[in-house]
Amino acid sequence: MQKRTFIKRLGQLALASPFTPHLSYSQSRLTINGKQPYIETDDFWLKIRADYDIKPDYINLESGYYNIIPIPTRQKLEEHIKMVNFEGTYYMRTVQWDNKKAAAARLAKLVNCSPEELIITRNATESLDMVITGYPWQEGDEAIMAEQDYGSMLDQFKLAARRYHIVNKVVSVPNHPESDEEIVQLYENQITPKTKLLFISHMINITGHILPIKKICEMAHRYGVEVLVDGAHCIGHFDVNIEELDCDYYGTSLHKWLATPLGAGFLYVSKKKIPKIWPLLAEHRREPYDIARLNHTGTHPVYTDLTINDAIDYHEKIGVERKENRLRFLQHYWTDTVRNISGVIVNTPIDKTRSCGIANVGMAHLEPQELADTLMNEFKIFTVAIDGANVHGCRVSPNVFTTTEELDEFIKALKTIAARA
């Protein structure tokens, strides 16, 4: 397609977009490394891309930290900020909590659990650390986790070990397991009569590896061990059905793949476990099974809570399955191309059920930070270096706005770097 035809076509698509009431697309937003335009053959995803304000300075393959939010959601956030500022204390004293509860109910529907089992938190850290630190530990109790889990949670377990004298057992998850059973066995081998809690990442953040949570829960429950799942990278990334997983606790951030404004997460606690967890912050008197007893926050940015609804609207307009398929497609678009190149090491399983949008790639002849620096400085491609827990490479997390043309640039860069070995 010629450049002018393409731009005209983009204009038509933008006008037709159901998601863009005030489209602020400009030609520069499709400019990468001074070149343009990047032609996305798939009209739908081009419209989605036009919903984003994309910094033209580099190709952003680091959405794993947090997802920038699309313009329609950002506009809703701005409206909520204006409204709350206009209503002031009256808002806080009247509908604040009803609105937060409604947003929590919407989230519960999205992940298939009861609204009585889910609270909105500030992030995955708050959700998960509340359970780790609020668990009714007895001296000598044991917890199981993996060295590939997120550092803050591992630190929280270390803190619990010092504070409550529990014992932490740490496994190492292989980057390329043969089967689910291999993973289940790895954790099962650590269980003793003293094991109380098994902590596991639904998706390992440094590799994008999705773990067989349902099977882990079945195994752990046979021993009477509870399961706390870190789903920081999962909600809004792929379809998560909490009832089906049958875990006891599930914590996540929403400012990652659900693309809410910064400062949103949720904690799911299975109804029968609600009374046993100590709240992070003391709440007024509540019934033991009322999950609100775990939800004291103090005064906080309530417009973030309100915007969760809008983020879910946007997410559902894309379509949960369509988004998951797109993210998985993008990952395989580049990993399938580079996996067999000499010197390139893909640290993410090849099996499509074990990963989605995120993957990790290293180079035999380069330290991860050198690779990340080369990608950014020479090729204007932004990733993040990971160097530890048996993972040495760059985490690569494209988003719904990523084009295959951007990934072609990335593939070209990897081939060039590999050839220098």
One residue of 230, 248, 305, 324 binding ligand PLP per CB under 6 A:
230
By beta-carbon proximity to ligand PLP, the closer residue of 63 and 270 is 63
H or E, element range at 146? strand 142-146
Angle at 212 between CA 210 and CA 217, to 5 degrees: 135
One residue of 17, 60, 205, 404 binding ligand PLP per CB under 6 A:
205
One residue of 67, 73, 123, 360 binding ligand PLP per CB under 6 A:
123
> Regarding beta strands 226-230 and 265-269, do their DSSP bridges make them parallel or antiparallel, or are they unpaired?
unpaired
C-alpha–C-alpha distance, residues 346 and 355, integer Å: 12
- Strand-pairing partners, residue 363, are 344, 366
Chain CA centroid to CA 101, Å: 22
Instruction: Tell the smallest beta-carbon distance from residue 264 to ligand PLP (Å).
Output: 9
Chain CA centroid to CA 111, Å: 14
Instruction: Tell the smallest beta-carbon distance from residue 389 to ligand PLP (Å).
Output: 12
Instruction: Tell the smallest beta-carbon distance from residue 193 to ligand PLP (Å).
Output: 29
Instruction: Tell the smallest beta-carbon distance from residue 29 to ligand PLP (Å).
Output: 26
Instruction: Tell the smallest beta-carbon distance from residue 245 to ligand PLP (Å).
Output: 16
Instruction: Tell the smallest beta-carbon distance from residue 285 to ligand PLP (Å).
Output: 29
78-107: contacts with ligand PLP (CB under 6 A): none
Query: Is 295 near ligand PLP (CB under 6 A)?
Result: no
One residue of 17, 148, 253, 309 binding ligand PLP per CB under 6 A:
253
Of 84-92, 136-144, 226-234, 350-358, the window that binds ligand PLP (rule: CB under 6 A) is 226-234
By beta-carbon proximity to ligand PLP, the closer residue of 17 and 207 is 207
Query: Is 228 near ligand PLP (CB under 6 A)?
Result: no
Residues 335 and 359 sit within 8 Å (Cβ to Cβ): yes
Instruction: Tell the smallest beta-carbon distance from residue 256 to ligand PLP (Å).
Output: 7
Of 80-88, 122-130, 134-142, 328-336, the window that binds ligand PLP (rule: CB under 6 A) is 122-130
By beta-carbon proximity to ligand PLP, the closer residue of 203 and 277 is 203
Query: Is 201 near ligand PLP (CB under 6 A)?
Result: yes
Residues 252 and 232 sit within 8 Å (Cβ to Cβ): yes
Structure token pair of residue 377: 């400085």
Query: Is 348 near ligand PLP (CB under 6 A)?
Result: no
Q: Where are the beta strands (DSSP E) in 364-415?
A: 381-382, 384-388, 391-396
Instruction: Tell the smallest beta-carbon distance from residue 62 to ligand PLP (Å).
Output: 11
By beta-carbon proximity to ligand PLP, the closer residue of 113 and 235 is 235
C-alpha–C-alpha distance, residues 369 and 385, integer Å: 5
Q: Measuring CA to CA, which residue among 258, 252, 251, 410 is closest to residue 324?
A: 258
By beta-carbon proximity to ligand PLP, the closer residue of 71 and 124 is 124
C-alpha–C-alpha distance, residues 117 and 205, integer Å: 25
C-alpha–C-alpha distance, residues 370 and 375, integer Å: 8
Query: Is 148 near ligand PLP (CB under 6 A)?
Result: no
> Residue 360 has what DSSP assignment?
E
Instruction: Tell the smallest beta-carbon distance from residue 150 to ligand PLP (Å).
Output: 3
Q: Measuring CA to CA, which residue among 194, 103, 197, 96 is closest to residue 143?
A: 197
Query: Is 399 near ligand PLP (CB under 6 A)?
Result: no
What is the number of other CB atoms lying within 10 angstroms of the CB of residue 38?
19
Burial 135-169, CB ≥16 within 10 A → b, else e: bebeeebbbbbbebbbeebbebbeebeeeeebeeb
What is the number of other CB atoms lying within 10 angstroms of the CB of residue 369?
13
Query: Is 207 near ligand PLP (CB under 6 A)?
Result: no
Query: Is 63 near ligand PLP (CB under 6 A)?
Result: no
Of 80-88, 185-193, 230-238, 329-337, the window that binds ligand PLP (rule: CB under 6 A) is 230-238
Query: Is 124 near ligand PLP (CB under 6 A)?
Result: yes
C-alpha–C-alpha distance, residues 38 and 60, integer Å: 14
Query: Which residues form the interface with ligand PLP (CB under 6 A)?
Result: 123-125, 150, 152, 201, 205, 230, 232-233, 253
